[in-house]
Amino acid sequence: MIKIKYILTLLIFLACNNLHSQEKLTRILFVLDASNSMNADWGNGQSRIEAAKEILAKCVDSLEGTANLEIALRVYGHQSPITATYQDCNDTKLEIPFGKNNYLAVRNKIKTIVAKGTTPIARSLEASAGDFPDMNSINIIILITDGIEACDNDPCVIAKKLKDKNINVTPFVIGLGLDLSYLEKFKCIGAYSEAETKDAFKNALKTIVNKAIINTTAQININDISKNPKETDVTMFLYENGTNKLKYTFTHTINRYGNPDTLVIDPAIKYDLVINTIPKIEKKKITLVKNKHNIIEVDGPQGYMKLRTTNGTKDYSISMRVMLPGTSQTINLQELNIQDKYIVGKYDIEILTLPRIYQTVTIEQNNISNVDILAPGILTYKAIGIVVAQLFILNKEGKWEWIHNLDQAISFGNVNLQPGNYRLVYRQKNLKSTSYTFEKDFKIYSNKTTTINL
């Protein structure tokens, strides 16, 4: 017998509020796992069975009143307790058959379920074939389980038989912090994802329900310099075309198979896509083909930029302003020793030191462009009273270039300065004659403090 640990499998193929437009009858059979492993704690004092019952009951409640819909409930593992020497692999039962007004009955039965037995998934799926009155409707099975098959049958074989009989089995596996190799056991039945918390499970379930409602998917390929969809880990906004109505927010993700993850998007409207790279990428008037998997291609090759000191002996608070070439608009303010990602190309930067440092940086695919500066030193000044003072640096042309005014509200202070030769021109603020102008020359060294008295 295979022990069941930390999986929650949920198969949902139906909308809660969007079935009114369907003319053909849809029948959904909920198959609930009530095996003993479902009693495991899921955090906040709630077991997996209690969480599953809560979620399922809310879904059933929201489905009530939907046109052209009938539901039913099958449960397994709830009749015979599992022991060290015995498991009842026939413990599966249709508790509430299909009917037009059985929502209350299904909800009430869900509340009474107690998890105690084993996990006969295959036999439950096989028995479910007889739960549908006919094959003329859209027949869907929703399986909620926390584990893989514990008996002697193969769910993959049964799933194929059901599909051959036009009974759609559409599993969505949400694994809870387990060895992901277990998830492969469900691959023969359908798609799956994983979640480690109840909130993550709720989000995954929302995606699954939306997929069932809309039946249209998409992936957004952010292509690198070689046109491979390898760029990722960035926020994407989808607006209704030509408006400020934000419809979807996604964090771009590469799934476990190395592909851009599948998204569920309503095909009823056109979209404007904003990918929040630096700078952002925009693609407008995107049209999705209904009932198909759509691929949205954008070019977004990226590399990295990092500001660092070549000789720093301690942490400094230095940032740089990044701009597109020939513009003064700031597209990013980047801190020292922080690595940020940029679309490949040239950028103008202003490093907010004293004096300011200006450079042009070229970003290349997947490479790190290091912006190196010397570590600053510290000027400490003290005056008898308040002074009017301006600070100058001797530039490369041999001229004194203004860089800073001292604070006229205080008589002492500290200023971080890049290494170089400096001159401070000042006079006492309360002395009303130009003759009281003084000059003080000094030199700044990296990682050292220079003190002057005025």
Question: What total number of domains does the chain contain?
Answer: 4
CB contact set of 161 (below 8 Å; sequence gap of 6+): 126, 129
DSSP-derived pairing of the beta strands 235-240 and 246-251: antiparallel
Residue 1 lies in a domain: no
Give me the mean pLDDT over the 3-31 stretch. Answer: 50
Q: For residue 242, what pLDDT band results from cuts at 50, 70 and 90?
A: very high
pLDDT value at 440 more than 50: yes
Can you tell me the distance from the alpha carbon of 54 to that of 107, in angstroms, rounded to the nearest whole number?
10
Whether the predicted pLDDT of 10 surpasses 60? no
For residue 128, being part of any structural domain is answered with yes
Q: What would the mean pLDDT of 110-134 be, rounded to a whole number?
A: 89
CB 266 within 8 A of CB 287: no
CATH number at residue 315: 2.60.40.10
- The answer, as to whether pTM is greater than 0.85, is no
Pair 301, 223: CB distance under 8 Å: yes
Please give the pLDDT value at position 40.
87
Q: Is it the case that residue 412 has pLDDT exceeding 50?
A: yes
Q: Looking at the domain assignment, is residue 164 inside a domain? A: yes
Question: Is position 2 within any domain?
Answer: no
Q: What is the pLDDT of residue 192?
A: 67
How many of the other CB atoms lie within 10 Å of CB of 295? 12
409 touches 421 (CB < 8 A): no
Q: 5-23 burial, b for 16+ CB within 10 Å, e for fewer? A: ebbbbbbbbbbbeebeeee
Instruction: For residue range 78-99, list pLDDT tens digits in order.
Output: 999 998 888 999 999 999 999 9
Residue 158: predicted pLDDT: 76
CATH of the domain at 96: 3.40.50.410
R_g over Cα of the chain: 33
Regarding whether 245 and 206 lie in a shared domain, the answer is no
User: Which of these, 136, 113, 143, 175, lies nearest to 32 by C-alpha position?
Assistant: 143
Higher pLDDT, 353 or 38: 353
Helical axes 198-214 vs 48-63, angle rounded to 10°: 30
Strand 191-194 and strand 172-175: the pairing is: parallel
Crossing angle, helix 155-164 and helix 121-128, to 10 degrees?
10
For residue 270, being part of any structural domain is answered with yes
CATH number (domain holding residue 253): 2.60.40.1120
pLDDT at position 22: 43
Of 195, 213, 231, the residue at which a domain comes to its end is 213
> 376 exposed, middle or buried (CB, 10 Å; 0-12, 13-18, 19+)?
buried
168 and 294 share a domain? no
Q: Identify whether residues 233 and 381 lie together within a single domain.
A: no
What value does the mean pLDDT take over residues 319-327? Answer: 95
99 lies in the same domain as 226: no
Same domain, 51 and 133: yes
Give the position of tokens 């859209």.
138
**Whether residue 143 is found in the same domain as residue 83:** yes
Contact 12, 209 (CB under 8 A): yes
Task: Give the range of the structural domain holding residue 247, as residue numbers without chain letter.
Answer: 217-299
Alpha carbon distance 345, 302 (integer Å):
9
CATH number at residue 401: 2.60.40.180
Residue 207 burial (10 A CB sphere; 0-12, 13-18, 19+):
middle
Domain boundary among 265, 299, 333: 299
Tell me which of 329, 358, 373 is where a domain ends. 373
Does 179 share its domain with 310?
no
289 and 314 both lie in a single domain: no
- The pLDDT tens digits for 143-199 are 787 777 788 777 777 777 777 766 655 555 555 445 455 556 666 665 566 656 667
Both 198 and 227 in one domain: the answer is: no
Give per-residue pLDDT as tens, 243-268: 999 999 999 999 888 999 999 898 98
